[in-house]
Structure 1
Amino acid sequence: MRHTLRETWSGLRRNGSMTLAVIVTMWVSLSLFGAGLMTMQQVDLIKGKWYDKIEISLFMCVKDSQGGTCEPGKDVTQAQREQIKQRLEAHPEVQEVFYESREEAYEEFKKTFSDSPILDSLTVDQMQDSFRVKLKDPAQYAGVVEQAKVMPGVQNVQDLHKVLDPLFNWLRALQWGTIGLSVLLLLAAALQIGNTIRMAAFSRRRELGIMRLVGASNSYIMLPFLLESLVAGLVGAALACATLAFGYWSIIVKNAEVSIQALRWITWQHAGLAMAAVVLVAVLLAIIPTLLATRKSLRV
């Protein structure tokens, strides 16, 4: 074991510049990879919270409303309300239907704008009664929205999915862009590790030939090379984990959680899972290229 450790240290010193290049590449690529994983978890948390609470709102026609299926100068009739409720409750994607009267809407309006000068600008007769629809699966909203738009007596259908879907699409694009860039850099790191080990094996070819002649096993010969690449990979992973921890603390803990408390943010547990994945990828990147690079030159 002493000989293996001595050879490992000697190899690290002999290929210091290449090892440093591998560490830096691993550091940057693993940091991006971990950041992509943390972004993925954050998007899932936000989407899970908002999508579970999003409801589709159907606003009924009043005399001065325009658009939708409203008849000019006419309110929605009671028969139309009953028909709308029945059709909504019969839809297979609808879990529950809530009705809010004009009076209830006006009371909510007064609470919301109690200190605003626009409080006296509306009366109860000008308010719109509405139906709020809770879906079984919030992602399956398109069919309900399309059906609601053509129901007689409906002036407008409010659907926050149209606002949130583009936001989540951009976040997903950012997340996969980060992971894709990190994969390219990880591939570069793997190639660097393979070239470094191949050059190290070539520079020690006489020594390795003697070891093969005296009957040294493949595992004994390859172990110093594996340790060299493993050290470089683990150092890069440690730097990446430190970067992720600092980024989480400075961005999420000290800023995001303080300024936007309404959102659910990832915790140290989520960051720890990303760091564990970073370490696992680092170990695999250290071992696999080394085995591939030394397979031919170290064959007994």
Structure 2
Amino acid sequence: MRIGLILSEALSGLRRNASMVISVVLVTFVSLTFVGSAMLMQMQIGTMRDYWVDRAQVSVSMCTALSQAATCTGGLATDEQVAEVQAKLDGEALAPLIRSVQFETQQEAYDNALALLPDDYASFLTPEQFNESFYINLVDQTQSDVIIEAFQGMTGVEEVNDQLQYLEPLFSALTVATYIAIGIAVLMLVAAVLLIATTIRLSAYARRREIGIMRLVGASNRFIQTPFILEGVFAAFIGSVLASGAVLAIVHFGVNDYLRARIDFVTTWVRVEDAWLVIPVIIGIGIVLAALSAGFAIRRWLRA
């Protein structure tokens, strides 16, 4: 099989169907950009989840003099009740689940709150309004239910909270956004596949006399099909390269230069190195889909 002749035929087909090829390139570019964006979003969700799961705490808040919970009928938690909670945390049943425990007094909670709030709050806030609290880091955050069950309902304990529950809506929203991006990407990929198939059929129809002559001189179906498949692959490859550049630009300019400077509470973002991991997948998807679509289209046309 003469490679030079096949390549020249493929390039000739690209020139003849320039407008359709440009359409294929653009649709492939847009669809694969969505694919890459969805992959980066999923990587971002995983990175954020790992970061926060490792740092999320279970808080055991003791009663204050103002607490209205059923477990706080005695008012402010006594030293004995605080000691009971501490002893339970140190006990053989829970100790293997716990990585570290930090105890915060009412005064410390008050000081920490004032450090975050405007100065005028100091005029009406008092330490007595804040809970003494145990902040528990777990070895495995998925075991937080065990801690909650152990302390919920204890006399002197106002409430037990898993901080990770406040982040779940964020993770859920990001996951939905990922699914939306994937859905759009799938629709665009279907459009790209159909465009590639149409382009190949038009190219084959325009060269039907040449194909007939090649058949008469004994050219194999593989020899006839290969230039058409390469046309689709070339167009999809260009679109894939453009999509790869868009993914790199999204991470470099959108994430590194824009989001990092404006969203302080997220400290772990996807990096350019992560984008480079996505690029081979994007290019691979583009080439494989183009080759399959073009191959199927030209085989059907040759059988017709």
CA distance, structure 2, for counterparts of residue 124 and residue 259 of structure 1:
33
Q: Extract unaligned runs of 5+ from structure 1.
A: none
CA distance, structure 2, for counterparts of residue 25 and residue 124 of structure 1:
62
Alpha-carbon distance change, 212 to 148 in structure 1, aligned in 2, over 3 angstroms: farther
Alpha-carbon distance change, 108 to 151 in structure 1, aligned in 2, over 3 angstroms: closer
Q: Give the deviation of 1:113 after TM superposition.
A: 2.8
Which region of structure 1 is more displaced relative to structure 2, 122-131 or 245-254? 122-131
Q: In the alignment, which residue of structure 1 is the partner of 2:172?
A: 169
SS for the counterpart of 2:194 is: helix
Which region of structure 1 is more displaced relative to structure 2, 224-233 or 206-215? 206-215
Match of residue 271, structure 1, among 271, 275, 288: 275
Question: Structure 2: which amino acid aligns with 1:185?
Answer: M
Q: Does 1:183 align with 2:176?
A: no
CA distance, structure 1, for counterparts of residue 230 and residue 16 of structure 2:
14
Q: Does 1:51 align with 2:41?
A: no
SS for the counterpart of 2:141 is: coil
Question: Structure 1: which amino acid aligns with 2:232?
Answer: S
Q: Give the deviation of 1:59 after TM superposition.
A: 0.9
Match of residue 9, structure 1, among 8, 11, 26: 11
Q: In the alignment, which residue of structure 1 is the partner of 2:76?
A: 75
CA distance, structure 1, for counterparts of residue 104 and residue 241 of structure 2:
59
Identical counterparts, % of pairs:
32
Q: In the alignment, which residue of structure 2 is the partner of 1:289?
A: 293
Residues 85 and 97 of structure 1 are in contact (CA less than 8 Å); yes or no, is this contact kept in structure 2?
A: no
CA distance, structure 1, for counterparts of residue 30 and residue 149 of structure 2:
47
CA distance, structure 2, for counterparts of residue 254 and residue 44 of structure 1:
21
SS for the counterpart of 1:210 is: helix
Q: In the alignment, which residue of structure 1 is the partner of 2:196?
A: 193
Q: Give the deviation of 1:282 after TM superposition.
A: 0.8
Question: Structure 1: which amino acid aligns with 2:82?
Answer: R
Q: Give the deviation of 1:93 after TM superposition.
A: 8.1
Q: In the alignment, which residue of structure 2 is the partner of 1:258?
A: 261
CA distance, structure 1, for counterparts of residue 111 and residue 81 of structure 2:
27
CA distance, structure 1, for counterparts of residue 37 and residue 271 of structure 2:
14
Per the normalisation by structure 2, the TM-score is 0.86
Alignment of 1:1-300 (within 5 A): 1-67=3-69, 69-72=71-74, 74-88=75-89, 89=91, 90-91=93-94, 94-96=97-99, 98-100=101-103, 102=105, 105-107=106-108, 109-110=110-111, 113=114, 116-119=119-122, 127-260=130-263, 263-298=267-302
Question: Structure 2: which amino acid aligns with 1:166?
Answer: P
Q: Give the deviation of 1:140 after TM superposition.
A: 3.9
Alpha-carbon distance change, 230 to 62 in structure 1, aligned in 2, over 3 angstroms: same
SS for the counterpart of 1:113 is: helix
Residues 34 and 244 of structure 1 are in contact (CA less than 8 Å); yes or no, is this contact kept in structure 2?
A: yes
RMSD: 2.6
CA distance, structure 2, for counterparts of residue 101 and residue 236 of structure 1:
57
